[in-house]
Structure 1
């Protein structure tokens, strides 16, 4: 890259694709690594944290970056696939510098860091952070109520100080487009303090989605740092089976306290799930499948399947039952698969196209039998029905995979380089 290139605001690099010289994507930018320097000298940008195949995070030195333009990073093509490990002298730019409260040297006003900009030094491959985009006003104030300005790095002070309650609004906005699993991975790699701050800034539904993708220890840690009322709200927003799994790991007293704070209907679903053995159909199932009455039409079914909050596995079929339509339902009549819904006219009654050939699972069906059932019939979900013929819920393939993979699979990199262990280097 030629000297004198334009400055780049680092928030624009979050999630940016990283390509080799041949145009093949090798990963995505998840953060930048910088080293603070004494006095008011601008920090040196050491490199990028790049997420490659299998969610493995590696360190890409800035000396191997040949271009940053149009929201993408071009490299020399030489990657060190050792896992990234942050050193004590290093700072993660997105994770640790954004949302900090610092002071302007001129006047002493306290400001919030919204972004920082870096530039490449002329005739060198070194990069440094030389500008800071800040907002005046109290933390959490609406942006339109606080003046924003871009100042030299030397015009602010306080980056090296430990902050007790750092905000997270800007960081959350930077990660807004991430899938829950990717955001969960980002949270997992933050410090416990920063993880709690980001979790506190997420909306309940977003935090619920992210919690479902986090390792168990991180789930318990984050939930324990929320106020009890908010923890109950987040549990309500989670899928009942995931909420049940999380609550089952808490001490009995804490579990009961949170269940009592939840809405009675949500708490009842979770209590019902916790009554089953963990590695059975009853312990694996979700209590919120798509349930329709026999007189519903294909058009009704397709409208329900289109709901954005449904996972692909749950949207793959609807279950036809006599009222009530909430689990546990009236008599279970059968399943209508999504492909069948696409083949029949919208006015067709679902009762006319219901599949009654496949036997449903009982709640005490063990995990190996559940797995065999899904594999034998090429299913992504299967109904769970009690002895009285009422639909209790549905087991989906993603829930089965969660229990078949190693317990620490969310913390383990999968891919060709997964076995390599070492600190990062140039």
Structure 2
């Protein structure tokens, strides 16, 4: 068995052969001894050609990340060539450092799948993930309901100031943009309706179109989508930032329930604020439709209002308002779940904010479809 060169300086990294296939390391295996470390590691690779090696680390005066990495790289190269290298006499600190810098072993990849099999596999993974998200949402909803019951049993613990602040953020500050967008959408729907219906000489029925569509479906749906993008994303970002700064853990350490402190005021503000916004959005959309009917259809305001009274009734308004609290609850649950799922990086925060908006909008549309089927079934 060949022997690596022995250097007289005890501080310089070196390796010397012992009996029984053992190699003794000595000196400082640190970054300032980089050339000596590489030379000694080359000696280990040469000695490994004759069989298994046991590397004795008792004489190593100091080992840093570079020295440990070179040792682990040498061990991986020896094992890749069919040899074997084991450590002996390592201190606890050396064992920890060697473990931390250990090179990952390549694992065999999955067997290649056909296009159809790959599609079915991806579909199955997504279905299972959706099922897990649904179960997590139900469990979280149960925690929120339990927290609300605790707050109801002890009204003194309700954070009224936080509720009013969230209601201001969700409802009051959201009125201008929601009213503006609803006004424009109502005008666009009326304009397109007039252009299509005038072919049949029935442009006056545009009032029925925009009245039923806005009051039953479009008003609350547009409002919910805008609230999901505006307030839902804000909830996720706020709670996610608190998670990153460990403020949620601090609340638990102080004996406070984060659900009661952070979630209940936000969800209650959504449940109260979204019906108000939906009602204002419907009025704005009807106003936009009425203005468009006057400009493009030559319909007077009196005729528009008279036709609207005949076309719609209170139960059409009630249909839209009944949906609003449920949509608010869905948005709040998804937004807060995604906020609590944020980990300690900005990338994780961005990913969960995006997931919050996408999932909320998707579930709002699904819920609106379910309500439409239900109200059609009961003829309401």
Q: TM-score, normalised by structure 2?
A: 0.21
Tell me which of the two structures has the higher relative contact order, counting C-alpha pairs closer than 8 angstroms and 6 or more residues apart.
2
Q: Which of these two proteins has the greater Rg computed from alpha carbons?
A: 2
Q: TM-score, normalised by structure 1?
A: 0.19
Whichever structure has more helix as a proportion of its residues is 2
